[in-house]
Every structure is written in structure tokens, then in C-alpha cells.
Structure 1
Amino acid sequence: MPKRRPLRTFDQSNKLKNVFYDLRGPLAVEAERMEADGHAILKLNTGNPAIFGFDAPDVIMRDMIANLPMSQGYSTSKGILPARRAVVTRYEMIDDFPHFDVGDVYLGNGVSELISMTTQALLNDGDEILIPMPDYPLWTAATTLAGGTPVHYVCDEEDGWNPSIEDIRSKVNKNTKAIVVINPNNPTGAVYSRKTLEDIAQVARENGLMILADEIYDRILYDGAQHISMAEVAPDVVTLTFNGLSKAYRVAGYRAGWLVITGPKQLASGFIEGLDLLAGTRLCANVPGQHAIQVALGGRQSIYGLTGEGGRLLKQRNIAYEKLSQIPGVSVVKPMGALYAFPKLDPNVYEIHDDTQLMLDLLRAEKILMVQGTGFNMPDKQHFRVVTLPWASQLENAIERLGNFLASYHQ
């Protein structure tokens, strides 16, 4: 008989060794195990509107259903023309948004796919991207996976979580390719002023950097906060604007996102060729989801009824802010946008050495799943994110239980 080779084991690739996405990481796996054992888990780890009773507008579903017979084949790699034209029209309604046409629009399976495509098309090994701290961790993961180096710039909690322009400037070097701006911000809920955005644009302008603007929450605003798109203040900078239907239209599962390129595109011709290549190799975005874009972007925008006076999202934001602020040793900056709060535990009251263990203990004791601050690349182990999507009574109860848990944890 021929000699048999030893059994071969297969490890993950080296490029994944430093890639993390704790929103769906080990804590979520433990929550699933507990659910399988019969426990009811309140999942506050992701901004998933559908599981908290936020239904998609009927007109979006009707249009998708009507277009299913026309959705059986591939679309063009950038996406169907009516949806891309609707994206162009959306931004034409913003006075200062730079001109672009349908050829500058890419549709994707949510913003997540488009972020991954962008970093793959842009980065060589060792190139750096400036990413906010705390961040939405997909940006850090996608940068690392593409062979780049994420460099985190400080968002100052004492200044309403605004980016520190001085810190951004100090971290630009010859390897820096781009600055990521998440506005409204996930996980903090901050909404940036025009001055802040202009300062970031100036840093990009002075150093020849691309701007990557994640604006998925641009229509989820509270208390009169106004969103200013990054491209408005940086028309002379190559700017990629990311957005989609997941949050404002409550259709996260449809995976309908878009990317718009503005600014001096002649400076990014090689990058655009790479993006075109990647758009083609994934064939196309989910076609039924593409058909949801045109109807969603036209007509009545139902999100404003949820975020304005008497709206459910506003009420829940208020409850989260007020109840978290009442817990001894907990402080929180009032979120002005998005679907989250990012509270801090006073280190003089709570000496936390492992914030992942803290969240695991909360999960097992109270059946509440949240994400620790280090999951958003916040190094101090004193923060965590609260999703403000549950019904008001459910959210109020959850934060009361959190307070009781922290009191016993402290003791």
C-alpha cells in the first residue's frame, strides 16, 4: 500500500489574523447558544430595525414584488439605470452637492460590500487610512483585509465626540491615502458641524488625500440637527459618498446600497478602473434590492415621521439618554443622529480590565447583548454601545436592568 500522508490541518489565512468584527463576534455566538437553550435574548448588538417592529414602507415592497419577473438575470455591474438615476436625483436636491452623473454611481449589496470593494481597489500593502476612534469596525477590518494599515484618529468625547483636527493632522504621512468620515456617527450618534467638515476637507486638500464619507444615517437626525454631506464642502477633493436603504428605509435585509464618486475624478482614474474591475467580478448587486432604490428615494420620506416630534425613534433616543444618565457612574453624550448611544463608565467607580468579559457577564446575567467599546477600536475599556431601536418600554426596562447589573458588578 502507498504510504499515507499525515492529515493536513487548515487554518485561516494570515490576512485574517488581525481582522475583527465584534458586532457579530464571540458574544453573538454565545447569545445564539443561549437562545438554542431556550433563553430570550434582547439583541442590542446591531442596528437591525426589522426585529424591533420597524417595517419597510409598503410601496417599496410592492415595487420589488412587481419587478421580480424582471429581476431574474444579472444587471449591469454598476447597477440598473433607473436606480442609479434616482441616486443622482437625490443629490441634485442638495444645492451644494457637486455634480456627477449615473456613471459615477455604483450599487452594492449594502454599503458593506462597497466599503470592501473600495479598500481593495485603493490600497497597496502598507498604505494607511485614517479612521475615526471609535469607529464602525467594518472600516478597520476592510482596510486590514486589503493589506492596508488602519490609523485611528481621536474623536473627542469632551467635545461632543467631534474629530480632533489636530490629531488627524498629526497622523498624516507619506503612506496615508484617505480619511474616513462617519457622519452621523456610529457608534456615538454625533452629527458634525460644517466647520468640522471644512477642517477635515482642508487636511485632505493639503495632503492630496481621498475622503471616504460614510453617510448611511444622514436622514436619522434629532432636535433639529442638520446633516451636511462631506462632498458639499470638498468639491475639489476626490470624495466617495456611501449610503443606502438599510436604516432610513428599514430594509437592512434588502442589501441595497450605493457609492457616489465626486471631485476631480481624473486624479483617481486608476482607482476607478480597479473599482470597475471589482464591480464586474462580483457580477452585480442583488437585483430585487436594486429595484427598491428608485421608489424609496422618490415621494414621501417616512423616516421624518419617526425622528421628528412625537416620533418613535426620537422618543427612544430620549429614553436611552435620560435613563443612561441616571445610572451612577455612567455618562453619555446626547446622540444627535443615528440609532445608538455610546456611554462611558467612570473609571473611578468601575475598574474594568476586560470590557468583553463585562458584556459577557451582562449577557449571561440579564440576557442583554451589547458590544463593548474595544469592539469599536476604543482602547480605554470604559465604553459600550447601546442600540436605541427597541420599543420605549422595552428599552427603558433594559437600561434599568443594566443599571442594576452594574451596581452588583461594582460591588
Structure 2
Amino acid sequence: MNPNKYISDVVKKIPPSGIRKFFDLVTNSKDIISLGVGEPDFVTPWEIRKEGIETLCRGNTTYTSNLGLLELRIAISYFLKTHYDLNYDPEKEIMVTIGASEAIDLALRALLNDGDEVLIPEPSYVSYAPCVILTRGVPVFIPTDEKNNFILTPDDLRSKITSKTKALILLYPNNPTGAIMKKEDLEEIVDVIIEKDLIVISDEIYSELTYEGKHVSIASLPGMKERTILINGFSKAFAMTGWRLGYIAAEHEFIEAMNKIHQYTTICAPITAQYAAIKGIYECEEDIIKMRETYDQRRRFIVNGFREIGLDCFEPKGAFYIFPSIKKTGMTSEEFCEKLLKEEKVAVVPGNAFGPSGEGYVRVSYAYSIDKIAKALERIKRFAEKIL
């Protein structure tokens, strides 16, 4: 028997994650300093962990509503209002998901018919295009450029729209570049979005990790709430990656459609994580601020470090990544990363893992201690001195 012949042609054509594929090389290696994983190095704040423990001790181990605990949806509504001036009805316009990853999948499956096109600015997070393909949609990439601060411009957006375009995915603050789109940047693309009748899937998982000013959601702009599916979660800002908890805020009709899929596949998010997240929203604001301040310190330290080494480095204004250019080395992104790993035992991610316009760059996470970053910079400097 050949199991491979039974596997879907669509699945066969999807390449493995460029991030995971590269880090298979790291798994069994010793003395590696990895600056590759996009995961907070902070432990989940104690009040959240304590609530999780107490929830289990109380015996709260059942299913919840498909949409999630109403108490959590009320808390999320409060969070969105107080942080981003967004108004969502917790009973009808918010649903809780198993991480932001499930939220992305639900949004795409609820929206797309065969052949519908989805616009994806890139460099961008690796899972969007495969998720579009798995829904029988067509991903269409919009290259962004460092000279424009890696933001999506109205001209770039308009140039990729066809009669089959249905949705636009936005990820700002951006993974991998750390770019943000300010209110005025978003306002410039809103007219195109409304004119062309597009739906926006706005992945705002890094919204609380914005270092200059406050994050602005495109859903807060006139005419955009009704055509935006807002995705967020607790993994990054609350350091809750392993709790697997995200959420969607959108018009009731969108929520109803996504909940149909959710109830037949995952049923609901884990109840323990939901109760813990309520505590996080109401009592862990100071923890979020402290983590953000620490990331900001690391951000400035690592950007300065790369520039002193002699590698050009775009200054990120959000998330916890830098995206330095390695073009002056004459190497491809993968060559640079493989040689750096082999010769100096530092792991970073090739920029082309995030799309063709990421070629010539590498993604470096600063979700690590200053000491670890400093040691990695010493090794990268030694490596660069041999090739520059």
C-alpha cells in the first residue's frame, strides 16, 4: 500500500513552513543561540496562571458555548473599547477561537468560494497563503518595500485587484518586518477597499506590541467595521502561546458563518484558558506594559547592534522582530542563515520564508534576554567580519 496516493493533491502541493523547515536543522544541535522563534520568553503572568489552576480546582472542565464564555466575550469587548475605541456586541459580534491561527482559518473558509482571490501583502506571516489554498482560494501577493517602510500603499493595492478579488489580509504590526501602519496610512487604502468592495481580514495579534504611539485598527475607521474581520488573541501580549486562545470580532453575519465551521470542528476553546484570559484582561495590564517596555529596550539594543556590525537594519515599530538586510554580503537569505548556523551557531530565519520580497533579508526575533541577544550579536559580528 502507498499511503501517499490517497493524500489530497492540494495538500501535496503545499510546501512545509519555511520557518519550521529551517529549524529542523537546529533541533538536535548543541550550543545554538536561536533568535528565530516568534514566542515570548516571558512566563504567563502569575494572576493568569493562578486563575487557570483555580479553575481546574473548581472543577470547571466542561465545554463552553461554541462562541466562548460570555464573561470572556464581555471582557474582550471591554478590552477592544478601552484600547482601540472599537464597539462590538459581546453576545453577537465576538467569538473565541483556539488561537489566532484557527481564527484565520475560519475567516477564510467562511468567505471563500473556489477561485476567489485573497490579497496578501508580503513579506508576511507564513500561514496565510497555505490557508487560502486549503480553502480552494487563490493567494495573490502584494510586494511591499523597505523604502516605503514595508507598508501597503493604495497604488500597490489597486494594482493587484481583479474581478475575482474578495478579501485582503492585513498583518500590522507585521511579522516579519516589525512595520506598522499608522492611522494616516490606513486611511489611504480605505477608499480603495470600499470602492472595490473588499473584505479585510485584519490580524492584529501584535497590536499591544506597538512602540511609537498607539495601535490603530482599520476597523475603527469610517465604513470599515462592517467589512472587517478583526483577529486577535492572547499569545503575544499576554505571553499565553501554549494556552491557545484567540478571538474574532466582526459583524454578526460573519460570526454566525464562522461559528458553523467552528462548532463542527473544534466545538470550543479550552475552558481553562478562557477563565484565565478573563483574569488577564482585567488584572494584568501592568504585566503587559512591563513586557512591552522590555521588548522596546531589546528592540533598540538589537537594531543598534546590527547597524554597528555593518548590516543595514530597518527600524521596526511593532511586534518583536527585526528584518535586517544581508544584501551587501552577496549571499541569498538561505545561504546566509545556513552559514551563520554552521560557522557561529546562531539561528535566524531566511527572509524568503515570508515570500519572494523577503529575499535579501533575515528575520531575527528579540523575544529573548538582552544577554542572549548580546552573545548572538558577538557571533554575528565575527561572522560578518569574514564576509564584508
- Same fold (TM > 0.5): yes
| Counterpart contact for 1:153–1:164, Cα < 8 Å | no
Aligned to 1:3: none
Query: Which of residues 58, 72, 86 in structure 1 aligns to 2:75?
Result: 86
Q: How many residues align?
A: 383
Counterpart contact for 1:71–1:288, Cα < 8 Å: yes
Q: 1:334 to 1:231 in 2, by over 3 A?
A: same
2:258 counterpart (246, 270, 275): 275
For 2:49 and 2:281, the matched residues in 1 are separated by: 14
The match for 1:140 is 129
C-alpha spacing 1:96/1:159, structure 2 compared with 1 (3 Å): same
User: Among the aligned pairs, what percent are the same residue?
Assistant: 28
Structure 2 counterpart of 1:312: 294
Q: Provide closer, same or farther for how the CA distance between residues 401 and 131 of structure 1 changes in structure 2, counting only shifts above 3 A.
A: same
Q: Secondary structure at the match of 1:241?
A: strand
CA shift for structure 1 position 175: 0.9
* Aligned residue runs from structure 1 range 304-343, under 5 A: 304-307=289-292, 311-328=293-310, 330-343=311-324
Structure 2 unaligned blocks of 5 or more: none
2:37 — aligned with what?
A: 46
Distance 1:227 1:392 in 2: 25
8 Å Cα contact 2:99/2:245 also seen in 1: yes
Contact residue 56 and residue 249 of structure 1 kept, 8 A:
yes
Structure 2 SS opposite 1:303: helix
What whole-Å deviation, never above 9, does each CA across 1:325-375 have from its counterpart, x for those lacking one?
1222x21111111100011123xx32224x224322222222222211111
- Matched position secondary structure for 1:144: helix
Indicate the residue corresponding to 1:4 in structure 2.
none
Task: Tell me the CA shift for residue 176 of structure 1.
Answer: 0.8
Could you state the TM-score of these two structures normalised by the residue count of structure 1? Answer: 0.88
1:134 Cα offset (Å): 0.5
Q: CA deviation at 1:235?
A: 4.0
Question: Aligned ranges for residues 101-120 of structure 1 at < 5 Å?
Answer: 101-120=90-109
Could you tell me which residue of structure 1 aligns to residue 11 of structure 2? Answer: 16
Structure 1 residue 20, shift from structure 2 partner: 3.9
Alpha-carbon distance change, 165 to 125 in structure 1, aligned in 2, over 3 angstroms = same
TM-aligned CA distance change 1:14 to 1:71, over 3 Å:
farther
Q: Report the CA distance between 1:180 and its aligned residue.
A: 1.2
The 3-state SS of whatever aligns with 1:107 is strand
Query: Could you tell me which amino acid in structure 1 is paired with residue 11 of structure 2?
Result: L
Which of 169, 177, 195 lines up with 1:180 in the alignment? 169
TM-score (norm 2): 0.92
For 2:330, give the aligned amino acid: E
Aligned-partner residue type, residue 286 of structure 1: P
Q: Quick check: 1:214 aligned with 2:214?
A: no
Report what 1:56 is aligned to.
44
Matched AA of 1:280: Q
Residues 380 and 65 (structure 1), Cα distance of their counterparts in 2 relative to 1, 3 Å cut: closer
Give the aligned partner of residue 231 of structure 1: 219
RMSD (Å), alpha carbons: 2.0
Q: 1:100, 1:261 within 8 Å by CA — same for their partners in 2?
A: no
Deviates more, 1:130-139 or 1:25-34: 25-34
Determine the C-alpha separation between the residues in 2 that align with 1:94 and 1:247: 16
1:291–1:235 CA distance, 2 compared to 1 (3 A): farther
The amino acid of 1:314's aligned partner reads D
Q: CA deviation at 1:250?
A: 0.9
Alpha-carbon distance, 1:323 to partner: 0.7
Alignment gaps of 5+ in structure 1? 1-6
Rg (Cα) greater in structure: 1
1:244 aligns with 2:221: no
1:22–1:371 CA contact under 8 A, matched in 2:
no
Give the deviation of 1:167 after TM superposition.
0.8
2:86 pairs with 1:97: yes
Distance in 2 (CA, whole Å) between partners of 1:204 and 1:368 is 42
In the aligned structure 1, how far is the partner of 2:84 from the partner of 2:23? Answer: 43
Equivalent position of 2:24 in the other structure = 29
CA displacement at 1:21 relative to structure 2: 5.1
